[in-house]
């Protein structure tokens, strides 16, 4: 058989392409135990600090970078973030359970007395490992202490840790949490104060001895596969900052960064970059950065310049933002090992021409949204409650109030369901300060309300229909097209909090369900839409909310399915019985099951639904218990602190009053708009279900009930105005 010259060239080209792909850190093939990962910890710094360091700047420009979410279980602290990096799941930890010692007589005796095992004669141990395990057993996420180190050990890889952040009488050796196995043991290392030297002009009068740090690396490099190095000095500087004026702080900072950069340069000259992956990570932000809302920290992955760009993971699905839970799975992926008991996912590199500028703009937008989010949403929630209360008072005291103020009040009322649309489109104007955001929010909402009032010819059904059409279509289009608006909206979600990174959050999920119910029932009132068409539109809404590559909101999918089925039965004139509720629940399970199968078996990148299923299959039914208890705890916590709980309660109070005053008004409006009245009952059901199945269900219930109270009050005000 003849082989043409063209085929030979194509074969050779394909061969070299495959070689290049195999060098990617996310897909590295490992045929032996010679591969290595070095993780350099520089705590409490930002990208500007790192980019000011010549050696690290080279690694940034020729590596892959991202902003890292540092969230752990419960209230955050730096020890939890260190643990989360090493265990791939949001973890619990404290200073006392994060203390490591070199193996020597005293620490060995304590360890053996508590654990019952005798570790090898050398290495590093956590003498409080049992307390740490119990902490996480009781924790929200049931993290597995030492998950990364245990998988590496079981596959023949050796771990090491050296360096510390000790300060005066305080021992800080949290880096050991990253490398330890499930018994708190690390093969090699040194976390004692022998790596610290007296330096009277440095913070706390001490600093890391980088010559000894380098020598330690040289001693263990050949025999270790995963090495964690704690530089320490950046941590000490941040904790000492309160004792310094601005000039001295900048002076110390410059010296600390220079010393670390010299060490990194020497390290890079010593190691074999062809078989070593270098990760530079900042587990926790500085106090100053946290106060400014800049809680996302730097991460750099460098493999000799083979991958340049931004990091991406299916945990966040946002280029340039990853979770601290993603680091351990990425390390295991480099060694071609499968993560166990981890919710994080491996990172990949996405090509980017100017990564630092992208990161700068991304961080600016994320921080801007995060800082403004609470104030703007609080203002909106208060405005919604005041507008509803004003409308209620106008209805109750209608005989004393002149007719001419009815229209302005009704327009203010309508603005409460237009505002979510304005908040959705605000990101198209770029990163704005809070004053400009307020101005745009008020002016655009006001303009849209007046426009809809004129287009609707002042007919209440038209205005309600067009208002809900605007927000429903806007949300569904954005979800289908990639959620770029929701991700950056003040009513969307905050990647710094890290409760959600993609899809539709509970705020807009409630808005979408509420607006869809009013829109479709209003269409039936005005245009006599066929009921089967309405059911198809309900199904489309369920898919948009729940499908893993779209809204990816499991609780929202359950809420929408139950609510829309309930509403559909009533639209067909059927009574709701226990039997029908049973069938509704059965269909809800079917929908969730279908989404689960699609997510788990057919999609390249799994959503958190598939991750939860994977955890259940790995760890057993205890995961279901953890999810339920976490959702209950979150709802209780959110109810006590969020303004949305007051929106929900005020909505319920207004409805309660309207059932009694004016007498018979609800019945009269329901008779006039029978299909919309069914939509109102669907909203009530939606509030109950969303509260029960979502971890911040009170938020979803509050944004849903707005469409109930606003539409009822608006129709009643119109009826009263006609009477007068």
C-alpha to C-alpha distance for 143 and 512, rounded to whole angstroms: 34
pLDDT confidence of residue 617: 77
Q: Hunting for tokens 């287009």 — which residue is that?
A: 455
Position 7 confidence tier, pLDDT thresholds 50, 70, 90: very low
Judged against a pLDDT cut of 50, whether residue 474 lies above it is answered with yes
Q: What is the pLDDT of residue 549?
A: 94
The DSSP call for residue 602 is I
How confident is the model at residue 9, as a pLDDT? 45
pLDDT at residue 14 is higher than 60 = no
Residue 177 has pLDDT above 50, yes or no: yes
Under 8 Å between Cβ of 234 and 45: yes
**16-72 pLDDT, tens digit each:** 444 343 444 543 434 446 899 999 999 999 999 999 999 999 999 999 999 999 999
pLDDT given at position 403: 80
Q: Is 9 exposed, middle or buried (0-12, 13-18, 19+ CB in 10 A)?
A: exposed
Query: What number of CA atoms fall less than 13 Å from residue 354's CA on the CB side?
Result: 5
Task: Among 106-120, 174-188, 620-634, 643-657, name the one with the lowest average pLDDT.
Answer: 620-634
Q: How many CB atoms lie within 10 A of CB 357?
A: 10
Q: How far apart are CA 639 and CA 648, in angstroms?
A: 10
Q: What is the DSSP letter of 158?
A: -
3-state helix, strand, coil in the chain (%, to 5): 60, 10, 30
Q: Cα–Cα distance between 451 and 448 in angstroms, integer?
A: 5
**Residue 103 binned pLDDT confidence (cut-offs 50, 70, 90):** very high
Residue 399: its pLDDT value, please? Answer: 83
Report whether pLDDT(696) > 90.
no
Q: Which residues contact 156 (CB under 8 A, 6 or more apart)?
A: 33
> At the topology level of CATH, where does 24-353 sit?
Alkaline Phosphatase, subunit A (3.40.720)
Q: What percent of the chain has pLDDT over 90?
A: 80
Q: Around Cβ 562, how many Cβ atoms within 10 Å? A: 24
- In this predicted structure, what is the pLDDT of residue 682? 97
Mean pLDDT in residue range 615-627: 75
Burial 436-448 (b: 16+ CB within 10 A, else e): ebeebbeebbeeb
State mean pLDDT over 579-592.
95
Q: Find the largest Cα–Cα distance for the chain.
A: 100
- Residue 724 banded pLDDT, cuts 50, 70, 90: low
Q: Give which of 84, 81, 609, 634 is closest to 344, Cα–Cα.
A: 84
* 237 vs 234: CA distance, rounded Å: 5
Cα Rg of the chain, angstroms? 29
E strands present in 573-660: none
Q: What is the pLDDT of residue 158?
A: 97
Long-range contacts of 317-321 (CB under 8 A, 24+ apart): 317/501, 317/502, 317/605, 318/487, 318/495, 318/501, 318/502, 319/350, 319/352, 320/65, 320/66, 320/67, 320/358, 320/359, 320/362, 321/66, 321/67, 321/68, 321/69, 321/296, 321/362, 321/366, 321/495, 321/501
Residue carrying the six token digits 């409490």 = 44
Span 578-601, mean pLDDT?
Answer: 93
Give residue limits of the domains in the chain: 24-353, 364-723
**C-alpha angle 622/626/628, rounded to 5°?**
115
CA neighbours closer than 13 Å in the CB half-sphere of residue 236 = 29
Q: For the segment 539-558, what is each residue's pLDDT rounded down to a tens digit? A: 999 999 999 999 999 999 99
In this predicted structure, the answer to whether residue 567 has a pLDDT above a threshold of 80 is yes
pLDDT digits (tens, 9 = 90+) for 296-344: 999 999 998 788 999 999 999 999 999 999 999 999 999 999 999 899 9
pLDDT digits (tens, 9 = 90+) for 501-528: 999 999 999 999 999 999 999 999 999 8
For residue 312, the 8-state DSSP code is: E
Q: Which two tokens stand for residue 678?
A: 């069914």
Mean model confidence pLDDT for the chain: 92
| Cα–Cα dist 680/455, whole Å | 25
Q: In this predicted model, what pLDDT tens digit does every residue of 399-445 receive, in sequence order?
A: 888 888 888 999 999 999 999 999 999 999 999 999 999 999 999 99
Q: Report the percent of the chain where pLDDT is more than 70.
A: 95
Burial degree of 417 (CB within 10 A; 0-12, 13-18, 19+): buried
The CA distances from residue 365 to 309, 429, 431, 510, in Å, are 19, 12, 6, 25
Statement: residue 205 has pLDDT above 80: yes
471-486 average pLDDT score: 97
- Helices (H), ranges, 355-433: 355-396, 406-425
Which pTM value belongs to this model?
A: 0.90
């Amino acid at each position: 058989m003849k082989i043409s010259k063209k085929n030979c060239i194509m074969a050779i080209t394909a061969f070299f392409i495959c070689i290049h792909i195999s060098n990617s850190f996310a897909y590295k093939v490992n045929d032996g135990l010679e591969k290595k990962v070095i993780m350099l910890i520089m705590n409490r710094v930002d990208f500007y600090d790192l980019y000011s360091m010549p050696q690290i700047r080279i690694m940034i420009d020729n590596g892959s970078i991202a902003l890292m979410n540092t969230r752990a279980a419960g209230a955050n602290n730096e020890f939890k973030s260190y643990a989360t990096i090493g265990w791939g799941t949001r973890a619990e930890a404290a200073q006392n359970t994060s203390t490591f010692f070199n193996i020597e007589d005293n620490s060995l005796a304590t360890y053996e007395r508590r654990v019952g095992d005798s570790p090898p004669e050398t290495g590093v141990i956590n003498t409080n490992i049992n307390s740490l395990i119990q902490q996480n057993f009781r924790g929200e996420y049931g993290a597995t202490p030492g998950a990364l180190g245990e998988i590496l050990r079981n596959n023949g890889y050796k771990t090491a840790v050296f360096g510390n952040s000790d300060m005066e009488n305080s021992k800080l050796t949290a880096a050991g949490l990253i490398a330890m196995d499930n018994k708190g043991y690390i093969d090699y290392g040194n976390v004692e104060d022998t790596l610290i030297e007296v330096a009277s002009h440095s913070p706390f009068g001490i600093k890391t001895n980088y010559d000894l740090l380098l020598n330690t690396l040289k001693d263990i490099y050949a025999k270790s596969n995963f090495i964690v190095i704690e530089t320490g000095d950046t941590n000490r500087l941040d904790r000492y900052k309160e004792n310094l004026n601005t000039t001295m702080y900048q002076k110390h900072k410059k010296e600390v960064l220079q010393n670390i950069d010299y060490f990194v340069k020497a390290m890079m000259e010593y190691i074999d970059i062809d078989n070593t992956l270098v990760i530079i990570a900042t587990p926790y932000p500085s106090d100053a950065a946290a106060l400014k809302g800049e809680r996302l920290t730097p991460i750099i992955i460098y493999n000799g310049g083979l991958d340049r760009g931004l990091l991406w993971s299916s945990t966040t699905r946002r280029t340039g933002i990853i979770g601290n839970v993603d680091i351990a799975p990425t390390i295991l992926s480099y060694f071609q090992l499968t993560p166990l008991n981890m919710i994080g996912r491996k990172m990949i590199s996405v090509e980017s021409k100017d990564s630092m500028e992208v990161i700068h703009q991304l961080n600016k937008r994320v921080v801007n949204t995060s800082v403004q989010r609470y104030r703007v949403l609080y203002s909106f929630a208060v405005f919604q409650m005041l507008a509803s209360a004003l409308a209620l008072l106008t209805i109750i005291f209608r005989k004393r109030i002149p007719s001419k103020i009815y229209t302005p009040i009704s327009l203010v009322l309508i603005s409460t369901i237009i505002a979510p649309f304005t908040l959705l489109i605000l990101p198209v104007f770029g990163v704005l300060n809070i004053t400009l955001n307020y101005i745009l929010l008020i002016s655009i909402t006001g303009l849209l309300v007046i426009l809809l009032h004129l287009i609707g010819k002042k007919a209440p059904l038209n205005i309600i229909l067009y208002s809900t059409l605007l927000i429903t279509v806007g949300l569904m289009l954005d979800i289908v097209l990639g959620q770029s608006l929701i991700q950056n909206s003040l009513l969307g979600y905050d990647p710094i909090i890290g409760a959600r990174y993609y899809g539709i959050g509970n705020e807009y999920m409630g808005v979408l369900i509420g607006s869809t119910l009013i829109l479709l029932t209003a269409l039936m009132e005005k245009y006599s839409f066929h009921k089967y068409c309405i059911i198809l539109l309900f199904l489309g809404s369920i898919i948009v909310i729940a499908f893993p590559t779209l809204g990816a909101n499991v609780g929202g999918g359950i809420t929408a399915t139950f609510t829309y089925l309930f509403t559909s039965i009533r639209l067909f004139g059927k009574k709701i019985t226990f039997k029908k509720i049973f069938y509704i629940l059965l269909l809800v399970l079917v929908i969730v099951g279908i989404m689960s199968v699609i997510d788990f078996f057919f999609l390249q990148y799994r959503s958190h639904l598939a991750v939860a299923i994977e955890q259940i299959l790995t760890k057993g039914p205890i995961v279901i218990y953890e999810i339920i208890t976490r959702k209950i705890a979150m709802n209780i916590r959110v109810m006590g602190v969020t303004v949305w709980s007051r929106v929900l309660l005020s909505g319920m109070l207004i409805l309660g009053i309207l059932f009694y005053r004016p007498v018979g008004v609800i019945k009269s409006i329901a008779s006039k708009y029978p299909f919309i009245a069914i939509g109102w009952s669907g909203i009530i059901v939606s509030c109950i279900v969303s509260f029960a199945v979502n971890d911040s269900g009170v938020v979803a219930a509050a944004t849903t009930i707005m469409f109930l109270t606003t539409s009822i009050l608006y129709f009643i005000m119109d009826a009263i105005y006609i009477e007068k």
